[in-house]
Structure 1
Amino acid sequence: MNNVPLISGALPVLVLILGGLSLLWLAWGGRRHLLVVLPVAAAAAVVLTFLLYVLAEGVLYWWDASLPRSLYIYAAAGILAVLLAAVRIRAAPAAGTRALAVTAAVLSLVAVASAANSAYAQYPTLGSLLDPPRPESAPLPERAPETAAGHPAATEANWVPPADMPATGRLFPADIPGTLSGYAADPGLVYLPPAYLADPPALNLPVLVLIHGRPGGPADWLIGGELLQVLDEFAAAHSGLAPVVVIPDASNAGNANWPLCLDSDISASATYLAVDVPAWVRQHLASGLAGARQWAVAGYSYGGTCALTLAVNFPQAYPSFVDVAGEAEPALPQGRDALIERYFGGDASAFARQNPLDILAAGSFSDSAGVIVVGADDPVYAPQGRKVFDAARSAGMDVSLQTVPGGHSWQVWKAGLAENLDWLGRRLGILAP
């Protein structure tokens, strides 16, 4: 039951049909209903949908122009269903008719939610909605750096898995302090692959730092990105080996002004992600000890911009990166001037010193490599990704540009990581070059 798909197959089609039929039932009626009530309700739904658009994209900045415009049509249909149901409930003399009107409105709203989910692929299965993956309550199995002293980093060439190695990895919560940065962080997540958990274990595994989107949090990688399944499948194909994956909080503990992975007047987010997080991993997980080539950063949307920003500002920390549907530079919906004023006290040069495109234009990155992934149907972020690719290539990076089916959604974000794990495995040393 948990594997029932919510973004493909029969169920979303059935939900859409039931929602459409419910709306038609609510819209049907006598002469006065068809000539007066329905047109007035439809006009009100259009006005309310327009107000939603203004609030969402022009005032509160809930989302931007990457939102599929078809969702506003679905939203208008949902609002219309609620208005028509309210009229029927008010006019109906019988409790059964009122209950039927409520049911029709609910089915219409469920169809709207299903359409939105299909557009973003946030909940790919019924299980991801009703019983999403959660980290374990057991303590994180820490490992002191001394345990790896004198041992080579584990690779597919030198690792022989024990017969009783776990079949899958495990997920744990992790409080990663901002020791140097002073950054306030909500708990992050750590995935430990089967080889880490084996007895005896694989030693000194490489590290992949994943950055989530905005709005969102570390757990989004588990739901829409189906991260545990993706990583376990990679590990199963490579004798239990996979990177130790760390997903820190990139929201600055829910700061109203998200830190944009910059060191700014808001917080020292960049230092946290590029210095504090790696130091904590080395100290507590004895991983990534063999040098910078064992480290990579990746992210989607806001997190993709972060991955690029960190890779360019801290190439010694993250010489490998995957930028999935990120922006060309850290940005606010209100524009660059608003960002510079809010984050840097109006000092444009302070922003330029951390802005990836400015740094790439002036520097050389022959030791860095990256993958930039864009959605074929993403009119907002795909052009920005191509701009980043051109700038990175001009700066000497070993960089590739990939276009995958889909818009600004988990269809692209999940594929952007899953389809590049082999590349990351080679860059990080698990797999042979």
Structure 2
Amino acid sequence: MLHELLRIPITGRAVLVPVYVITAVLAAWVLVGPARERHRGRRLAFRVGAGVLGAVVGLVAVWWTGDVQDLFGVAFTPITRMWVAFAFAGVALLLVVLVQGGWRRRGLAVAAAAAVVLSAGLGVNVDFGFYKNVQQAIATSPYKTVKLAERSSSATPATDLSGWQAPAGMPKTGETISVAIPGTVSHFRARKAVVWLPPAARVANPPKLPVIIAFSGQPGQPADLFQTGNMGQYLDHYAAAHQGLGPIVVSPDQLGAPNRNPMCLDSRRLGRSETYIMTDTVDWIQSHLPVESGPSHWAVAGFSEGATCAMQLSAAHPDVFGTALAISSEIGPKNGSVQQTIALGFGGDAAAYRAAMPVALMAAHAPYRDHLTVFGYGQDDAPYTASTETLRTAAERAGMQTQTFVSPGSAHDWNTVRYVLAHGLPPVLAHLGLPAAEGTL
């Protein structure tokens, strides 16, 4: 029973409309008060004034933290700003009613404030397109943990995928699992990774398949691209049309914790995140999964901070990655201001910071051969539109092939991620040597 309740969608009208109606009724009752309330007009004026002041404080808070300090790395949409202002107004109204007195009214004010905050949270969630249900909001990863055995180098012979035929009894869908990838060389303390195995990888004698290393944004966790980005669903759709084939996707933890950001670099203060990815994770994939070798069969992908990582690693390691998918990438590694980024990630060395920018890395490693980078961003995401165009221009100048997908009517959110994955994965898969897919996934 509880399990089913946790899976109730929280982005549909069946939940949102009742919550909004209840919130409106409670807020109106608390604001107006009973008809016979003493000094009703004066008290109403105080409540209205408090609500307006609270809304203004909320808008200023969003402006200061988001636009001035850029604490979240996201330009908030007008819808999110409205919901934040609404939440602050509700809390301000609660404080005034608590002072004005009346136990019944105070109880209603607490209920109204809770409803306002809940409504605002649901509204912001819809705007960002993040959590689909309560389970996603409270669970770190819903996928079962599996310990995969090491494979011998000859266990999986190379296979011509163009002639692959699905064997009898092959599973109809892929499988998403959680695995521990130890930081053997890096000593980086990572959370469990998420791995998606296509149906063809789940048979007794699987073919060697291409691989995608995929990164979440920050804050985030490895499961985000599958839980919220629907990556597994899109690849299941592809596999169903192509004899169960698909890439093996590994989503390691490049962060170490939801609010940490080592910037996919090796640094004294933040840890050896790059070594964890490029040595520990790459070695683990090669020794535990039936994957092809060589950059023509390896891709790196990500969203936001994860996309920046994808650009850094793709540009710096063309011997490993021949394909990249960058959704809303920043112009380069970033952890706070430029000065803070240089201090945290580069030990104060500004020259090393400039050399680590993807644009500089692409110039240093040019010309790239048979290298594809697929870019994506939201139509209403001006900062990331600019950074993407700068990166795309540099990529083409360095000899990369590029494609760009723009998500209509979305910004720096998971609606953009889902759109770009659905449209951008087909060219990525084709460049990895898998059968071409028509249209979107």
- Normalization by structure 1: what TM-score? 0.88
Residue in 2 that maps onto 1:164? 169
1:198-217 aligned at under 5 Å gives the runs: 198=203, 200-217=204-221
Q: SS in structure 2 opposite 1:115?
A: helix
Residue 52 (structure 2) pairs with residue 42 (structure 1): yes
Q: Which residue of 2 aligns with 1:104?
A: 112
The C-alpha deviation readout for 1:118-158, integer Å capped at 9, x for no partner, is 1100023566457886111443365433211xx22362x22
Please state how far the C-alpha of 1:188 moved relative to its aligned partner: 1.1
Aligned equivalents of 2:355, 2:377: Cα separation in 1:
26
Is this contact kept in 2: 1:145–1:284, CA < 8 A? no
Q: CA offsets, 1:323-363, max 9 Å, x none?
A: 0011121123312x332233222222222332211122342
Unaligned runs of 5+ in 2: 34-39
Change in CA separation of 1:69 and 1:364 when aligned onto 2, cut-off 3 Å:
same
- Residue 431 of structure 2 is matched in structure 1 by 427
Please name the residue that 1:297 is paired with. 300
**Relative to 1, partners in 2 of residues 1:62 and 1:140: Cα closer, same or farther, differing over 3 Å?**
farther
Matching residue within 32, 43, 59 for 1:28:
32
Q: Identity percentage over the alignment? A: 29
- Structural mapping, 1:356-371, within 5 Å: 356-362=358-364, 363-371=366-374
Higher RCO, Cα 8 Å, sep 6+: 1
Alignment of 1:133-172 (within 5 A): 134-140=142-148, 143-148=151-156, 151-153=157-159, 155=161, 157-172=162-177
Match of 1:325 among 323, 328, 332: 328
Matched, 1:219 2:228: no
Whether contact under 8 Å (1:376, 1:407) holds in the other structure is yes
Q: CA deviation at 1:69?
A: 4.0
Please tell me the residue identity of whatever aligns with 1:80: A
Displacement of 1:399: 0.9
Tell which deviates more after alignment, 205-214 or 326-335. 326-335
The CA deviation at 1:415 is 2.0
Q: Distance in 2 between matches of 1:275 and 1:19?
A: 52
1:364 to partner: Cα distance = 1.4
Shift of 1:423: 1.6
What's 2:341 paired with?
A: 339
- Alpha-carbon distance in 1 for matches of 2:121, 2:48: 23
Name the aligned partner's letter for residue 167 of structure 2. Answer: P
Residue 401 (structure 1) aligned to one of 400, 404, 407: 404
Structure 1 residue corresponding to 2:311, chosen from 308, 311, 314: 308
What is the CA RMSD across the aligned residues, in angstroms? Answer: 2.7
Aligned residue in 1 for 2:37? none
CA distance in 2, matches of 1:340, 1:237: 47
1:103 is displaced (CA, Å) by 2.9
Matched with 1:186 is 191
Which residue is 2:250 aligned to?
A: 246
Structure 1 pair 276–94 and aligned structure 2 pair: CA distance change class (3 A):
closer
- Conserved in 2, the CA contact under 8 Å of 1:386 and 1:401? no
- Closer/same/farther in 2, CA of residues 80 and 353 from structure 1, 3 Å limit: closer
Name the amino acid aligned to 1:351.
Y
Separation in 2 of the partners of 1:15 and 1:132? 26
Instruction: Please list the CA deviations of residues 23-77 of structure 1 after superposition, one character each: whole Å capped at 9, or x if unmatched.
Output: 3332223212222233135324533653465356656x54135122432332222
Matches within 5 A, 1:80-95: 80-88=89-97, 91=100, 93=102, 95=104
Deviations 1:196-223 (A, max 9, x none): 112x332211111101101111121222
Distance 1:283 1:103 in 2: 55
Q: Does 1:354 align with 2:356?
A: yes
Q: 1: distance between equivalents of 2:99 and 2:348?
A: 55
Contact 2:218 2:258 in 1 (8 A): no
Correspondences of 1:59-98 after superposition (within 5 Å): 62-88=71-97, 91=100, 93=102, 95=104, 97-98=105-106
- The 1:230–1:125 alpha-carbon spacing in structure 2 relative to 1, beyond 3 Å, is farther
In the other structure, the counterpart of 1:414 is: 418
Shift of 1:385: 0.5
Instruction: Between 128-137 and 234-243, report the one with greater CA deviation.
Output: 128-137
Aligned mate of 2:124, from 116, 120, 123? 116
d(CA) in 2 for partners of 1:256 and 1:304?
A: 17
Contact 1:133 1:222 in 2 (8 A): no
Aligned twin of 2:233: 229
Q: Quote the offset at 1:369 in angstroms.
A: 0.9
| 1:193–1:235 CA contact under 8 A, matched in 2 | yes
Cα distance in structure 2, aligned partners of 1:26 and 1:145? 70
Unaligned runs of 5+ in 1: none
- Is the partner of 1:412 in helix, strand or coil? helix
Counterpart CA distance in 2 for 1:170 and 1:154 is 23
Write the distance in 2 (CA, Å) between the matches of 1:427 and 1:93. Answer: 68
- In the aligned structure 2, how far is the partner of 1:321 from the partner of 1:418? 15
Distance, in Å, in 2 between the alignment partners of 1:255 and 1:20 is 34
Q: 2:280 aligns to what SS in structure 1?
A: helix
Shift of 1:418: 2.7
SS of equivalent to 1:167:
coil
